[in-house]
Amino acid sequence: MFSRETYIKKRKSFIRALNERGISRGTFILLANGASPRNYQSNCYPFRQDSSWLYLVGTGLADCGYALDIESGRSYLYADEQSLDDVIWTGSPPSLHELAYSIGVEGVWPLSALQSLVAERLAKKEPLFILPPYRCEQQARLAELFGVAPSLQVEALGRFIDPRVILAFVSAREIKDAEEIDEIERAVTATKTVHEELLYSFEPGWTEKAAADYVLSRASAMGFELSFATIATCRGAVLHNSPTAYAATAEDTFLLDAGLEMPSGYAGDLTTTFPVGPRFGAQARAIYEVLYQAFGVAAATLAPGVRFLDVHTQASLTIADGLKSLGLMRGDPHDAVHEGAHALFFPHGLGHQIGLDVHDMEGLGEDYVGYGDELRRSDQFGLRSLRLAKTLKPGMVHSVEPGIYFIPQLFRKWRAERICQDLLNYDIIERWMSVGGMRIEEDWCITESGARRLGPAFDKTVEALERARSVQ
């Protein structure tokens, strides 16, 4: 996808990061993804290459392997030529040595050579490193490669998974270069197009499922994949609601959280909340105003050197303050945020990194990606769901997505257990429960001097949304 120079550069920055963490020799092994069976072996889901592979190796070829010698920086692709039967059914493959050249590796060897390489390194007790597998098939293939087959033992593979390697890889992958930011921005721009199309097309009577189908339909027509399962719902208070057959009424508030993915794998991720009728109800409008303010405060706080944990806190304070002014909360907003009272309304984190994964690198472990060795994750309700906390650096790309929700089950439990009752006006909150849930999400890139919102402008003020919903 990118030039061979780009991949060579990426491998160099990974090796530099490994060296900084005290790893200067050994072999780093990566496997490409294989097919993922849907309803029988040969009927597979659309192939998705592994994101770490896309980052470091850079080819869409399935079922192959890669080895990087950390000391010399030399790396090889391992792949098999196709049989005549394969050619009849799936066509001539790309020439492997041309492919190897295009991604800047030293050469290409048969897959069996990777098995020999690993066996030899194991025999000589030389260091071998892998990344944690997230697919069962991948785990089984690694187990076989490392001679722990046929058992499927996380423990047996665990000794090849070195936290320093993960942290080094994250520190390389999390800084996006100009080409990567461009890819993400194209994904965000296309995502915005689909959100705006739905904003203008949606009508009372549409089901949630129809809205989700619309998003997939438009994404496909534009040549994009979805970066995650679309959330399209009148019940925004269910955070990851699967679209249902519920038909929206003019009184509902609709929440669309959907992202498109570039053919290269880079993702966009936006959330838009809008009234199904031409106007928000009075309570929904008031809550949306608080939310929009929190979104603005968070966005204005973004800069290199700032901890995202503190941005989350600023957004939380704004929400607590706003809800206090509406009478739903009371006391000092700082106390409320410290006690976690605001998490009754905002039980998730403010954002996550975005890149080749929509929750970038989440397969490597959320804490490595969002906290590193700088911070430890809180176990307080709400805060424990914060995916990104660490200090922002130029080149990082992430979402900002505050939300305010009225979740019946959570409300009932907290009220019954009198949680933070000095900070929450439960009797008043009860009268606002029908507001449901709202979220605003946009994607940002940290620059040398501040931060830049990705994609074209998308006015999400109450006025702009109501205008859009009125011109049907």
- Interface of this chain with a second copy, residues 263 to 282, rule: CB under 8 A: 265
Rounded to a whole number of angstroms, the minimum distance from the CB of residue 383 to a second copy is 14
DSSP three-state, residue 291: helix
Q: Should residue 90 be labelled a site residue for a second copy when binding is judged by CB under 8 A? A: yes
d(CA 229, CA 267): 13
Comparison of 38 and 452: residue with beta carbon closer to a second copy: 38
| Contact pick of 1, 216, 247, 428 for a second copy (by CB under 8 A) | 216
In this structure, are residues 291 and 280 in contact, taking their beta carbons and an 8 Å threshold? no
- Which distant-in-sequence residues (6+ apart) come within 8 Å of 177 by Cβ? 6, 9, 395
Binding to a second copy, residues 127-186 (CB under 8 A): 134-137, 139-140, 143, 149-153
What is the maximum span of the chain, computed from C-alpha positions, in angstroms? 75
Using CB under 8 A as the binding rule, whether residue 235 contacts a second copy is answered as: yes
Minimum CB distance to a second copy, residue 91 (Å):
4
Taking the least distance from each CB to a second copy, the nearer of 140 and 326 is: 140
Map residue 444 onto helix, strand or coil.
strand
Backbone φ/ψ region at 121: left (φ over 0), alpha (ψ -120 to 50), beta: alpha
d(CA 233, CA 244): 8
C-beta atoms surrounding 405 within 10 Å? 23
Outline where 246-376 has alpha helix (H): 282-301, 308-325, 333-339, 366-370
Query: Would you state the structure tokens that stand for residue 441, as one six-digit string?
Result: 């999400």
What angle, rounded to 10 degrees, do the helices at 178-201 and 208-221 form? 130
Residue choice 7, 11, 14, 51 for contact with a second copy (CB under 8 A): 51
Between 166 and 239, whose beta carbon lies closer to a second copy?
239
Q: Is 274 helix (H, G, I), strand (E, B) or coil?
A: strand
Residue 352 binding a second copy, by CB under 8 A: no
Give the nearest distance from C-beta 296 to a second copy in angstroms.
26
Minimum CB distance to a second copy, residue 216 (Å): 4
Residue linked to tokens 């106390």: 335
The residue (of 17 and 210) whose beta carbon lies closer to a second copy is 210
462: contact with a second copy by CB under 8 A: no
> Kind and range of the H or E element at 121?
helix 111-123
- Which residue, 76 or 254, is less far from a second copy as judged by CB? 254
Residue 357 binds a second copy (CB under 8 A): yes
By the criterion CB under 8 A, which residues form the site for a second copy? 36-46, 48, 50-51, 84, 87-92, 134-137, 139-140, 143, 149-153, 209-210, 213-214, 216-218, 220-223, 228-229, 235, 238-242, 265, 347, 356-359, 361-363, 407, 409-410, 413
